[in-house]
Amino acid sequence: MHKLITAAIVFLLSFFMSTKLALAQAASVSLLEQRTEGATVQQIAQSTLSSLGDPIFKLVLKDHADVTNLAEIEKLIKGEQGQEQTFVVDEKIVDTRPTIGNQPAARRAVLTFTGRNQGEQLDRNAMLSVFFNSENFPDVQFLEALGWDGSRGRYNYYKLDQQGTPGRLSWKFRNSSVQADLLQPAQRAGTCLQCHVNGAPVMKELAFPWNNWHSIAFNASYLKSSWKVGTNSPRIAQNLGDAYALETNFIIPAINQFNEKKIDESVARSSGSPVINPNGTQQVIRGKRLLRSLFDTTEFNLISSNQEVGNLHPFSSTPTSGPFANVQIPNTFFLNANLISGGTPATQQGLSIAESLRFTNIAQVQPEEYRQLLNRSGVKLDGKPGDANFAWFVPEPGQVDNSMVEQLMKRGVVTPEFVAAVMAIDLETPVFSQERKKLLEFIPEQFNFQPLQSGTNPLNIKRHPDDLTQKVIAALEGQNPASDSTAGQFLAILKSNNPLQVLKERVQAYLNSVDQKLNKSDQATRQAELTRLYDLAIAKRRTILSDPVLAALNETGNELFPVPDVGIASATIAQ
CA-CA-CA-CA dihedral for 169, 170, 176, 181, to nearest 10: -40
d(CA 197, CA 181): 6
Q: List, in sequence order, every residue forming a beta bridge with 158; answer none if it has no partner.
A: 145, 173
DSSP secondary structure, 37-57, as one string: TTSPPEEPPHHHHTT--SHHI
Other C-beta atoms lying within 10 Å of the C-beta of residue 94:
21
Indicate the average pLDDT of the chain.
92
Residue 124 confidence (pLDDT) above 60: yes
Which of residues 2 and 285 earns the better pLDDT score? 285
Burial level of 103, CB count in 10 A (0-12/13-18/19+)?
exposed
d(CA 96, CA 110): 19
d(CA 568, CA 575): 20
CA-CA-CA-CA dihedral for 328, 333, 334, 337, to nearest 10: 90
Name the DSSP letter for residue 227: S
Q: List, in sequence order, every residue forming a beta bridge with 106; answer none if it has no partner.
A: 133
Query: Reduced to 3 states, what is the DSSP secondary structure of residue 233?
Result: coil
d(CA 326, CA 11): 85
**Which pLDDT score, from 0 to 100, does residue 557 have?**
83
Question: Residues 440-479, buried b or exposed e (16+ Cβ, 10 A)?
Answer: bebbeeebbbbebeeeeebbeeebbbbbbbebbbebbeee
Question: Residues 175-208, buried b or exposed e (16+ Cβ, 10 A)?
Answer: bbbbebbebeeeebeebbbbbbbbbbbbbbbbbb
Give the model confidence (pLDDT) of 502-524 as tens digits.
999 999 999 999 999 999 999 99
Q: List, in sequence order, every residue forming a beta bridge with 103; answer none if it has no partner.
A: 100
Residue type, 482: A
Average pLDDT over residues 515-544: 98
Q: Are the CB atoms for 78 and 115 separated by under 8 Å?
A: yes
Residue 286: pLDDT band with limits 50, 70, 90: very high
Q: pTM of the prediction?
A: 0.91
Q: Are the CB atoms for 214 and 170 separated by under 8 Å?
A: no
**Which pLDDT score, from 0 to 100, does residue 24 have?**
36
Q: Are the CB atoms for 329 and 364 separated by under 8 Å?
A: yes
| Lowest mean pLDDT across 233-242, 248-257, 488-497 | 233-242
Give the model confidence (pLDDT) of 172-204 as tens digits.
999 999 999 999 999 999 999 999 999 999 999
d(CA 381, CA 390): 13
Q: What percent of the chain has pLDDT over 90?
A: 86
d(CA 60, CA 65): 6
